[in-house]
Amino acid sequence: MAALSYLWKSRAKFPITSAQFYRAWAKRVFSLPELIKRNYHRNILTKKGAAINETAEIGDAIITGIKKKLSINEFSFIGSCFITLHDKVTIGKNVCINDGVQILTASHDTNDPEWKHIKKEIFIEDYVWIATNAIILPGVHIGKGAVIGAGAVVSKNVLQGQIVAGNPAKPVLKERSKELNYNPCEFLAANRAWLVG
């Protein structure tokens, strides 16, 4: 969930005598355990140095490595995914990363007789959508508005607005709209309970 402080100050307000008031508060109370759990997870990450905007949404992600190498900007949604932080991972604004995604910042050099460790940062620009079970490999830069198809394995940079799919990921003929204006976090029921009622 978004930070408790953000939800509280941004909550929809209704007259106490209205049905909307009681409906909104019933939804808020019902979603409170999940809200507390997700905020606890966020707080652990930020205490260890991760830079997470108060409007970003963190699901049951497994995030290993040096937490200060993680940066998540406004209104980005991170589902139940796996992120390794051997190097920096920067996630832009309004990004949606679905469940099962793996973001890997390190591997081994198969051409090296000593099989040396290689680490490279990953940069994900604004409005990127990474679909279920995609794998993002070290050193990848994903341009604004790009879409990574479900199960895709991305080993090379993805251009702005490009839609890629497959293993290895390759561009498909379609291109995403250049005018994007949505918030992936607003679709979550618990956030809507606070922000919409």
* H-helix segments, the chain: 4-9, 19-47, 189-195
Rounded Cα distance, 85 and 65, in Å? 5
Catalytic residue among 41, 108, 117, 141: 108
Residue 108 annotated as catalytic: yes
User: CA 71 to CA 28: how far, in whole Å?
Assistant: 28
Task: Output the six-digit token pair for 130.
Answer: 């990474």
CA dihedral angle for residue 144, residue 148, residue 153, residue 155, rounded to 10 degrees: -10
Whether the CB-CB separation of 133 and 114 falls below 8 Å is answered with no
Catalytic residues: 108
